[in-house]
Structure 1
Amino acid sequence: MTAPSSSDRNQKRADDRRKIIRLLAFFTSILTLLVVLYSLKPTRQESLATAHAVNSAAHSNAPSQATGTTDAAAGATNAAAGNLPTRELLSSERLIQEAAPRKQDIDIQSWKTPKGAKVMFVEADEVPMLDVRLVFNAGAARDDKLPGLAAITNSLLDEGTPSANVDEIARQLESIGASIGLGSYRDMAIISLRTLTDPAYLDKALALLYDVSAHPSFPAESLSRIRQQMLVGLEAEKQRPEATLNRVFYSVLYAGHPYGIPPSGTPESLKAITASDIAAFHSRYYVASNLVIAITGAIDREKANQIASAIDNALPQGEPAPALPVPKGATASQEIRLPFASSQTHIVVGGLSVDRRTPDWAALYVGNEILGGGGFASRLNQIIRQDNGLAYSVYSSISPMAQAGPFTMGLQTSNETADQALALVNSTFKKFIAEGPTEQELEATKKNILGGLPLSTANNRAIVDQLGAMAFYDLPLDYLKTLPEKIAAVTLADVRNAFAKDIASHAQITLMVGGRAVPTIPASRAAAHSHSQEPKAP
């Protein structure tokens, strides 16, 4: 065996230092947040006083001095308006069921910067923290002839700038309890910041965000390391049938379309990507006119505008990315079976669905929850798992994107029952398209969805996620407010019509990965093979 070179040892030590610094930054952020939250905790006396007031109101039947009505009558009125204390709301299941769907009443402010960036801002002063999310139209769909270019560019953003190397960036974030996150997807690339709003921390954190976004240096050492990590990841995917399933499904459904480009690249493309390719991609797509700025936290509009303006000034104006072409999808239904050395077969059935701006979203959302998106209570789960015991879990999903995203139904089952499970998936889907849901399924699902919607804006991070997506996909400012009403208004006919028009009208692809069992190792030889490598996929 060849001994590691000096450069390899130095590289390993540098990687270890970075991991340690990032772990320290993470734990410091958590500790800082806990201290802040504890400082906001009410005293025991305040808590007892509040509890006593709620308890008294919930149990009092005396007439109201102001209106002459009883508290019980006022309670019914207030429940419908969503104004009752939590304890009183939970005291009556009837009031909960009869209450009108509550709007997600968030005050969203929106404007554009001089260079064309869209800004979405929500003031939230409950906790002295700030979340900033930069969403660039710079996902894998922009990779063109170099799959993986968007992902590797995004991964390198916090690896160094002209003013700080990767270790210095990590140390500065650790010292102020802030964090910067990166993400690359098919449609978009993301840079996010979370920090305290105390100026002693905020100003330094924002300066790092501006620097990382606008002036990454793409160091050669980091490029080599991240390229190697991505190549290792591609090798690891060969051992995972679900990764093969996902990659092949997208390549077939979106053949010839940018959505068919594998976001993590190919061995050939990753090896071909150069520093100049990365710099050119950043210069083209990480520009103000191609950007959404989402801001949520304990700052006012004036401060939010200052932050947006600083980001706008740091970036070149550039040009917005052109609209993606409309995908054609599969021209005819087809079934593809790929052998894989495993005892389980992974199955996905699906085709094109809708883009994110569809007016049918509420009906599709409700219908998909009934079909397979609602977990244990869904039709697919009832038939595949509970009635026939063929799979531990089964799902359906609609994933709208800038252009038509995929509709999928999927599961994994033993090789011996794969054909039976597939037949049940297809028959369940066919019946759902023909007949739609029952009235009982519809009402139960709508109540379940409406009960969970507030969680989508339950904290700053959830809000900034929503703001970024709304602006990126050009959804109206009142989207979050009107969605509960639209869901509550969905009818049986709405679900049937939406699925017939947007789902069943497209050819479906069936992809099965598996069907070749893992070779059995005799018990007498099991110990000798306990550390051997799993068989690779062909």
Structure 2
Amino acid sequence: MITSLRSLILPALTLASLLGLASPTLAGPQIQHWMAPTGARVHFVESRALPLVDIQVSFAAGTALDPADKAGLASMTQALLDAGAGDLDEQTIADRKADLGAQVRGGADNDRASLSLRSLSSSAELDAAVELVATLLARPSFPADVLERERARAIAGLREALTKPGTLAARAFNATLYAGHPYGNNTSPESLAAISRDDLVDFHRRHYGANRAAVAIVGDVDRATAERIAIRLTEALPQTEPATPPPPPAATSAQTFHIPHPSAQAHILVGQPGMAREDADYFPLLVGNYVLGGGGFVSRLTREVREQRGFAYSVYSFLSPQQVAGPFQIGLQTRGGQTEAALAVVRDTLNAFLAEGPSAEELQAAKDNLINGFGLRLDSNAKLLDHVAMIGFYGLALDWLDTYPAQVHKVSIEAVREAWQRRIRPDQLITVIAGGDGDRTTNGSGPAADAADGGN
């Protein structure tokens, strides 16, 4: 029923009526903010377009808090919140969600762990769904048998993933960019096996506090109802030690790592720590990345690597802002025998972009896409919730969505060039190449030689 309602109503909504984004100066969704009596931060957008309410509760309980020898603890804690809670077992919780037509999801990244709820806005269904989620958040039982099952599943999945060059490249890239930093933790079969039920209980007790909670609510309720929802979701949570932000990552030094694998395709990642969520260079870096490799088929990397030379079907770049500098990453796959040639084009393209910045035509195209496409990233309650939750968790300005188009609009060629020259340094780029051995020619670059090559 929910899906059919969305399919009927959403196409009838225009971006101008939903978001007021017809020009860079018009206002976006009105975000209301307050502190709940429990200490939780609350951000709320009233949206009456559909009889739905979307809620996300986020905690400063991300994977950066994992002990090095128990990497995966934060994710496992979050994943088992609905495995049993209070006097409800796993099956009862699943049945109750089905009976209410409620969707409960969650996840964990470096900075935060979250649980999200989508419910009908009718009081009976909404009240019962909020009550269920409040129980999951405050009284998870972490049944030992479910932990054993999910840990075995996670270990099996990880072992399978570790046979793939893409996984090997991503893990080596992350560990090298963030060596010695909490963001650099990678799970292993051993770290997952070391997690006990007591670890889950302790992690939850220390990090799932009301004072660490950021509650985002978007949907068909008024302010008074939103206030009651936020209190109910967090009133049974403890008060914990305030969250401590991770330290900034250390600057990297340019290195190249080869990981042997018999695949014909080499998986290549190039990058360094990039930008934080609150960053003075955020918008020049964002606009510049669209030109470099974030704009798909209109990006420079695609033109130079794919269209002009046919080295890769897909090549991209992205910046992933986090509480402290998240990764700047360029990625592609190419035949092993042409790895060095493809990498040379990537480096030349990046160096030229750093030296010159975008052309006037590239800059305008990037701005037009980012501004005109912004509304499509907010055209449903669920998409809007993601942004409101991000604003709430990271403490961004309430008008961040309002000012986004104008901030993009005012970016200049000089601002892009200067920001990229400040922040992206060729002498700090990490390069990871995994696989390609099945296609590599016998020119002294076989697996044994590659494994020994630790630098440029």
Residue identity matched to 1:269: S
Q: CA deviation at 1:455?
A: 1.5
> 1: distance between equivalents of 2:216 and 2:10?
28
Residue pair 2:276, 2:322 contacting (<8 A) in 1 also? yes
Alignment partners' CA distance in 2, 1:218 and 1:286: 14
Question: What is the percentage of aligned positions where both structures have the same residue?
Answer: 40
Deviations 1:225-253 (A, max 9, x none): 11001101111112221111111111111
**Partners of 1:211 and 1:160 in 2: how far apart?**
9
2:109 corresponds, among 185, 190, 195, to 185
**Alignment deviations for residues 407-457 of structure 1 (CA, whole Å, 9 cap, x no partner):** 111100001111100000000001100111111110111111111001122
1:273 aligned residue: 195
Deviations, residues 158-186 of structure 1 (Å, cap 9, x unaligned): 00112211111111111111111011111
TM-score (norm 2): 0.92
Does 2:172 correspond to 1:248?
A: yes
Cα deviation digits, residues 11-68 of structure 1 (max 9, x gap): xxxxxxxxxxxxxxxxxxxx34426876x799xxxx9xxxxxxxxxxxxxxxxxxxxx
Q: 1:310 to 1:41 in 2, by over 3 A?
A: closer
Match of 1:26 in 2: none
Partner-residue secondary structure (3-state), 1:512: strand
CA contact (8 A) 1:351 1:506 kept: no
User: In 2, are the aligned partners of 1:103 and 1:485 still within 8 Å (CA)?
Assistant: no
RMSD across aligned positions (CA): 2.1
Shift of 1:319: 2.1
1-side partners of 2:295 and 2:416: how far apart? 15
**1:338 Cα deviation after fit:** 0.9
CA-CA distance at 1:116 after TM superposition? 2.1
Whether 1:307 aligns to 2:229 is yes
Residues 1:129 and 2:52 aligned together: yes
Distance 2:210 2:23 in 1: 41
Check conservation: 1:254, 1:329, Cα contact below 8 A: no
In structure 1, distance between residues paired with 2:113 and 2:10: 37
Counterpart mapping for 1:57-206 below 5 A: 100-101=23-24, 103-145=26-68, 146-206=70-130
1:345–1:512: 8 Å Cα contact kept in structure 2?
yes
Determine whether 1:507 maps to 2:431. no
AA at the equivalent of 1:356 = R
Residue segments in structure 2 that go unaligned for 5+ positions in a row: 441-450, 452-456
CA distance in 1, matches of 2:119, 2:94: 14
Indicate how the Cα distance of structure 1 residues 161 and 318 shifts in structure 2: closer, same or farther if over 3 A, else same.
Answer: same
Higher relative contact order (CA 8 A, sep 6+): 2
Note closer, same or farther for the CA distance 1:461–1:115 as it changes in structure 2 (3 Å cut).
same
The match for 2:454 is: none
User: Could you tell me whether the CA contact under 8 Å between 1:37 and 1:127 is conserved in 2?
Assistant: no
Confirm whether residue 424 of structure 1 aligns to residue 345 of structure 2: yes
Decide whether aligned partners of structure 1 residues 505 and 278 sit closer, same or farther in structure 2, where only a CA change above 3 A counts. Answer: same
Q: Secondary structure at the match of 2:303?
A: helix
Runs of 4+, deviation exceeding 3 Å = 35-38
- Whether 2:4 is the aligned partner of 1:34: answer yes
Asked if 1 retains the 8 angstrom alpha-carbon contact of 2:264 and 2:438, the reply is: yes
Amino acid at match of 1:251: A
- d(CA) in 1 for partners of 2:5 and 2:318? 40
Question: 2:427 and 2:101 mapped to 1: Cα distance?
Answer: 49
TM-score, normalised via structure 1 length: 0.78
Cα pair 1:352 1:506 within 8 Å, conserved: no
**Counterparts of residues 223-302 of structure 1 (less than 5 Å):** 223-262=147-186, 265-302=187-224
Aligned CA distance change for structure 1 residues 388 and 319 (closer, same or farther; 3 Å): same
Contact 2:337 2:439 in 1 (8 A): no
Task: Answer whether contact 1:289 1:317 (CA < 8 A) is retained.
Answer: yes
Q: Per-residue CA shift, 1:250-283, capped at 9, x if unaligned?
A: 1111111000012xx2111111111101100000
Go from structure 1 to structure 2 and tell me whether the alpha carbon gap of 1:205 and 1:429 turns closer, same or farther (over 3 Å shift): same
Q: Which has the larger radius of gyration?
A: 1
